[in-house]
Structure 1
Amino acid sequence: MTAVALTPSGPFSLAAGVRFLEDFTPASYRGAADDVLRLAFPADDGHSTVAVAVRQEETAEGEAGSVRAEFTTYPDPDTPADPRSAGTGAGAVRAQLARVLSLDVDGSGFPGLAAADPVVAGLMADYPGLRPVCFHSPYEAAAWAIIGHRIRMTQAAAIKARIAERHGRRVRIEGRTLYAFPTPPALRAITRAPGLTEVKIERLHALAEAADAGELDAARLRSMPVDDALAALRDLPGIGPFSAELILIRGAGHPDVFPRHEPRLHAAMADAYGLGAAASGDIRQLAGIADRWQPYRSWIALLLRARAAHISGRGTSAIPVGAPAGAAPKLIGPPVSG
């Protein structure tokens, strides 16, 4: 087992992230009394699986303690690693985990947004230290979007869990058994799965091929202009505007994108800023308000969703990441193994 350390820049609470996942039904995450976050996921190299236990040290109130992660990497036995890959060493796993926990972003300027915006100040007070807990990768975010298309999210979560149990790697981490989602080669080998149509399986195969080709590399997507990245993602079979935003924001971990295809977020914004219900459809006005949140537009959007879900009494299991106007709400979030 290898250990790496992550030092948060700005406010960060691992406990807040764990609570978010525990309340989020699609995440299927079951916490433990020891405050350890246990994860299992396909590594960014596409040919191995990582099992990791994450802890945050306790410090004086108001300070973000260092985050320590202990992990084991399991190469796919039948799939040779791509020589072009950055590998699965400590540095690569550390970078991926930092992205999942939004610790790869300098958050030191985040508290400063509160001074100019009372709504943001209230959100930060309500959810201290909460940063987006992202999908393990754009690949897994895209797979979730395809699996969950036009079905209930509880149903999608059950299908994803079955796929992980039957086709992913089983790992043991800190006394718990977890099942990671299949790596792209393993996903491409699936010919049938209960609950998935032939069309969805074909789309998952295309997704696995795109991941192998590097089209879903998180660093690549985040380095592109946002509109170009979203357009590239929409070229994937089965990925529309809603899902493209999901993949970029919650898969690649882009910290500064305002979701333009999320009516429930827009309604929460209009309510929070006292604009009236009609303003929820004025994307230009809402985007103008969100411009004040730069460079953390994705982060503030998450806090708005959290508050809206709390007010409605639905819990974070009902926090949507976006849905096309007029469509049934899609309640999508980070499906963490556990």
Structure 2
Amino acid sequence: MDADAVGTAGLDIESCYRAVKSRDRRFDGVFYTAVSTTGIYCRPSCPARTPAYANVTFHRSAAAAQAAGYRACKRCLPDATPGSPDWDVAATAAGRAMRLIADGVVDREGVDGLARRVGYTSRHLSRILAAELGAGPLALARARRAQTARVLIETTSLTYAEIAFAAGFSSVRQFNDTVREVYAATPTELRGRRGGGRASTGSVTMRLAVRTPFAGRALLDFLAHHLVPGVEVAGPGWYARTLDLPHGPGTVRLALGDEPQEGQTALVTASYELTDLRDTAAAVERTRRLLDADCDPLAIAAHFAGDPVIGPLARRHPGLRVPGQVDGDEVAIRTVIGQQVSVAGACTVTGRLVAAHGRPVASAVPGLTHLFPDAATLAEVDPASLPMPRSRGRALVALAGALAAGAVALDRGPDRAAVREALLSLPGIGPWTADYVAMRALADPDVFLPTDVGVRNALTGLGHDPVTVVGRAAEWRPWRSYALMHLWNTLMPPTAATVQTVPTVWAGTEEA
């Protein structure tokens, strides 16, 4: 089945049924199969016997299946699938809204707050979501709360009251009713079936679904190469960092390794320490952004299969991800700091900024000492006091002011083109910075940086003429961000046994 057969405006029923018959895992999270004779809905790859064509309907979201009266399959756990890659590829209003709903915006700010971030009225956004995903924002948020609750029930020993509020429910009764309706089981029955976990209040360990193949080691190498002291630490097979969450600080530690099984779903273990358990959903969603968990690596690999430059690299490192972010503002500020300096130099300067202006946090992970400074704090800093050239200091403070005032929003809600235009209007922000921010902060899969020093170094090292290859980079659309990562990956050193200072490999170029 062609991955493009399922469109954004509707579902091709014949193609969906072929995917179900072949148990095609690529479509887990893209659509859901509801079976009228059993009253349950499943992921396309569910190992149960394929239902008769006459007995199935297909839904764009778990919330739509639930709204139609179906319960989640207890065998394939359809609510635990990665999100649809279409949300980032097309970046429609519905896809952008889904990212914000997963972050808990509806629970914190209501439907009006969600609509405001996406740039629509609440009524119009509700119509868009109903048309594209089969459910409105409240139903989509409810489905997300139910999934978070199930994970916490099955993987922690938190009390049910703690789980209810951690998942975003307004009451224990609402939590109990929703769990019974969605899973046809009580919270006690869910915990009994899975055995529960060992976590205590404030500590949550769960496994995050990612599509495979998953080049976890390459992702770790990139993150370890760009560590900011105080905010991030890494070692063989793991990465950890602080999180600035809506209700308080937290930390996450990720176990990262390669998961090469094609067409399957891998599980990345994430261990959280949270000041407030209400931030569970937000912490999970932001970690998934960092992992680029919802991308479709098989579609990307197929696109590069015949390319003489990227094809061999893609076969060497299947499932390479574009590292995302846990905070868009942080990515933008770090990008400005890194203009025209080495990676090592940028990390050192950023570490000084963190020590001077970041909020101290207590963490059980050695080396995690501060949150990254927020935009409002940096907007008040005297540019002359920053450890960087005066022009770059002014650019950083101006950017922080725009972020703090809401003139630039990097929460993945607004339209990408509008965000890029807003960034380019700021002093000291040029195309390289704006596009790098779009790739990392906005999850744009189709960014290429033709002036980047690393691109030229990588192509030269591979024996290609940079001018010729860059001139035909349009052939890599719509996955140019992944082509860029494959080139950069050839320059990345492996994660050291003890990560402290990183060597210089490449640096981007940008207007001063």
In the superposition, the TM-score normalised over structure 2's length comes to: 0.50
Distance 1:42 1:235, change over 3 A: farther
Report if aligned partners of 1:25, 1:317 keep a CA contact under 8 Å in 2.
no
Who is 1:195 aligned against? 387
Who is 1:81 aligned against? none
Distance 1:306 1:7, change over 3 A: same
Report if aligned partners of 2:331, 2:441 keep a CA contact under 8 Å in 1.
yes
Matches within 5 A, 1:121-270: 121-178=311-368, 179-191=370-382, 193=385, 195-196=387-388, 200-214=392-406, 215-220=408-413, 223-225=415-417, 228-262=418-452, 264-265=454-455, 268-269=458-459
Report if aligned partners of 2:343, 2:503 keep a CA contact under 8 Å in 1.
no
Aligned with residue 55 of structure 1, among 236, 255, 265: 255
Who is 2:484 aligned against? 301
Distance 1:317 1:61, change over 3 A: farther
Aligned with residue 303 of structure 2, among 102, 110, 113: 113
Cα deviations across residues 309-329 of structure 1 (Å, max 9, x unaligned)? 67xxxx984244x425xx89x
**AA aligned opposite 2:488:** R
Distance 1:309 1:197, change over 3 A: closer
Aligned with residue 31 of structure 1, among 226, 231, 234: 234
Who is 1:288 aligned against? 474
Deviation, 1:132, is 2.0
Distance 1:302 1:190, change over 3 A: same
Who is 1:65 aligned against? 266
**AA aligned opposite 1:302:** M
Who is 2:183 aligned against? none
**AA aligned opposite 2:430:** G
Indicate the structure (1 or 2) with the bigger Cα radius of gyration.
Answer: 2
Cα deviations across residues 198-241 of structure 1 (Å, max 9, x unaligned)? 654544343233223442323135x434xx44222111232111
5+ residue gaps, structure 1, are: 76-86, 329-338
Who is 2:242 aligned against? 40
Report if aligned partners of 1:8, 1:67 keep a CA contact under 8 Å in 2.
yes
- State percent identity of aligned pairs: 22
Deviation, 1:40, is 1.5
Distance 1:216 1:318, change over 3 A: farther
Deviation, 1:300, is 1.6
Aligned with residue 218 of structure 2, among 16, 41, 45: 16
Cα deviations across residues 227-280 of structure 1 (Å, max 9, x unaligned)? x44222111232111111111112323222222432542564588595x45425
Aligned length, in residue pairs:
296
Report if aligned partners of 1:50, 1:74 keep a CA contact under 8 Å in 2.
yes
Report if aligned partners of 2:395, 2:429 keep a CA contact under 8 Å in 1.
no
Report if aligned partners of 1:255, 1:297 keep a CA contact under 8 Å in 2.
yes
The 2-side partners of 1:186 and 1:90 are apart by 25
The 1-side partners of 2:460 and 2:340 are apart by 27
SS of alignment partner, residue 176 of structure 1: coil
The 2-side partners of 1:196 and 1:88 are apart by 38
Distance 1:120 1:180, change over 3 A: same
Deviation, 1:166, is 2.8
The 2-side partners of 1:15 and 1:109 are apart by 21
Deviation, 1:38, is 0.5
**AA aligned opposite 1:125:** R
Who is 1:80 aligned against? none
Deviation, 1:308, is 5.1
**AA aligned opposite 1:218:** D
Aligned with residue 100 of structure 1, among 290, 303, 317: 290
The 1-side partners of 2:462 and 2:260 are apart by 32
The 2-side partners of 1:258 and 1:152 are apart by 20
SS of alignment partner, residue 367 of structure 2: strand
5+ residue gaps, structure 2, are: 1-202, 494-501
Who is 2:184 aligned against? none
Who is 1:84 aligned against? none
Report if aligned partners of 2:379, 2:397 keep a CA contact under 8 Å in 1.
yes
The 1-side partners of 2:327 and 2:333 are apart by 10
The 2-side partners of 1:133 and 1:224 are apart by 18
The 2-side partners of 1:91 and 1:241 are apart by 33
Report if aligned partners of 1:114, 1:120 keep a CA contact under 8 Å in 2.
yes
**AA aligned opposite 2:412:** A
Report if aligned partners of 1:171, 1:177 keep a CA contact under 8 Å in 2.
no
**AA aligned opposite 2:213:** P
Who is 1:279 aligned against? 468
Report if aligned partners of 1:138, 1:248 keep a CA contact under 8 Å in 2.
no
The 2-side partners of 1:177 and 1:126 are apart by 33
**AA aligned opposite 1:318:** V
**AA aligned opposite 1:65:** A
Report if aligned partners of 1:55, 1:68 keep a CA contact under 8 Å in 2.
yes
Report if aligned partners of 2:242, 2:250 keep a CA contact under 8 Å in 1.
yes
Distance 1:48 1:210, change over 3 A: farther
**AA aligned opposite 2:221:** R
Cα deviations across residues 278-316 of structure 1 (Å, max 9, x unaligned)? 425xx5x3233223xx2x220121111222567xxxx98
**Structure with the greater relative contact order (CA < 8 A, sep ≥ 6): 1 or 2?**
1
Deviation, 1:51, is 1.3
Who is 2:505 aligned against? 318
Runs of 4+ in structure 1 deviating by more than 6 angstroms, as ranges, are 57-60
The 1-side partners of 2:340 and 2:271 are apart by 38
The 1-side partners of 2:286 and 2:228 are apart by 18
